[in-house]
Amino acid sequence: MAEKKNNFEEELQQLQQIVSSLENGQVSLDEALTQFQAGVKISKDLKQQLTAAESTVAKLIDADGHEKPLDPTDASAPKE
């Protein structure tokens, strides 16, 4: 059976726990390296999720119902 992918909040919480554990300094070098590698993987996953969410949010729907990318240099409100 495929492993269930955690949602953003769960992965962020895991990353925060890893950071706290590493900052605490009470783990062995081997465990610290393992946790660091897991943290890097989680961080990459979180970045991908944020990029996908940003892409979704950055689209507008024009009057004809077509998606239109948001122009970050145009601060005006979208035309209806």
d(CA 31, CA 37): 10
Dump pLDDT digits (tens) for 31-80: 999 999 999 999 999 999 999 888 777 776 666 777 777 676 766 655 54
More confident residue, 69 or 19: 19
CA-nearest of 15, 22, 69, 10 to 40 is 15
**DSSP letter, residue 76:** S
**What amino acid is encoded at 15 in this protein?**
L
Confidence of residue 2 (pLDDT cuts 50, 70, 90): very low
d(CA 21, CA 68): 44
